[in-house]
Amino acid sequence: MHPNFSRRLSNKKRRRVDDEKPDKISDLPDALLLLILSLIPTVDVVRTCILSKRWTSLWEHVPKLDYSYKNDKKLSDQFVHRFMISRNKQCLLESVQLKVESDSDVMNIPVWIKRAVELGLRGLELDFYSEKENIILPRNIYACKTLEVLTLKYCVHVDIPNSPVCFKSLKILNLRLVHFKDNDSARRLFSSCPNLEKLDIIRYVDNVVNFTIEVPSLKSLTIHDCSDGGGRREYVINAPSLNFLSIRGMNDYEFSIENMPELREAKIMDVIDINTEKILLPLASSVKRLSLALSPLETRYADGIVFSKLVFLELSTSKTEWWNLLMVLLLNSPQLQVLKLTRDESSKSNTEHMTTSQLYKPINVPPCLLSCLQRFEWERYNGLHEEERQIAMYILTNAKHLKEAKFSTKNSDLEEKFEMLKVLAREPRASPSCHFFFE
């Protein structure tokens, strides 16, 4: 028997099975099948073409490309290039994820992005890492009217062209360690997004000294700066619609925040050698939820700033002399309802070297303790230290309307936990209806 005969026979049987008993999934409409295929990696999507005639070209219409190239290569550059270039313009390509490392052909990537823009691109994630070069984005992306979500990571070079730039539909922008040509490239990028709502930035070393963010539509802004500014960096933020602000890791920067009447939640963490009055004062009149982790040098700037609408305060106990900042904030937050104290798991307690004379207690009890504080939570509480017990008892013995007090510790010694619980439980509390929890 000829060796190909059995293969032909097998193919005929398979075709007959396909024709006579199609599977239930294949009976689904194209729109639903394309939705299903868009949820799995592209390498698996392409493999469906061998299932039957029904699936032969279905993968070509999936509106998503998920391409990952590392040392363990999954898809070839040649395949992706053919997939992008030969795609019919009627087959929209709405989402593209490109995660590229190692020895991929860098020259292809701008070509792919350019083609994706022509095919109605709505979401792009470009994650490119190389020790040799940066990716330069194609010019047509800066005038993409359909793009709604843009994520750029690592070795991506942002150079705004002189021609008109407008991301008309862009709502979410994530920039992680990208390279800017200059100050103007960063400023023009943000100003070209008239409907931007969410901006997340992680910076280290780039060419921008004066980082200006002027976006009237912006609602959420996160900035994590990993570099040592050394007084050579400046931030200017003008976002009148901002609801959420997170700032982390800035060292010796000039800072200016303007016009944020809608701000409701803010996180200010690990800033060093910065006049935090320039950060805290603009948000004091509107913020309702505030998380802080400040060094003692910045603590003095909080004195005199009244947080008139603050109802939730989270304060890190990982910083030296955090207790003094706590007392200042309690005095200046007349509407505070929830107080949460936390400490990073990797941090050691800073109360080990604190003496009783260092613990500042105001002459008058803070108004929020007398009138409105309802919940007190302390994560990684260490009641073996006298000073921490003093702070805990100060809150419990003065908060007249407290409904719940919760203490948790990572200490695995049950005897020590029990001793901490006994100390807290036997002290009188200002609120007789307070429910006490200890984990």
Residue 386 has pLDDT above 90, yes or no: no
Residue 122 has pLDDT above 90, yes or no: yes
Rg (Cα) of the chain, in Å, rounded?
A: 29
Of all residues in the chain, the percent with pLDDT exceeding 90 is: 37
Residue 293 has pLDDT above 60, yes or no: yes
pTM: 0.85
* Average pLDDT over every residue of 399-413: 86
Quick one: pLDDT band at residue 35, thresholds 50, 70, 90? confident
Better pLDDT: 354 or 53: 53
Domain ranges of the chain: 1-62, 318-439
Query: The tokens of 40 are what?
Result: 């799995």
Tell me what pLDDT residue 217 has.
Answer: 97
pLDDT in tens, 163-196: 788 999 999 999 999 999 888 989 999 999 999 9
Tell me what pLDDT residue 177 has.
Answer: 93
Residue 352 has pLDDT above 80, yes or no: no
Tell me what pLDDT residue 296 has.
Answer: 60
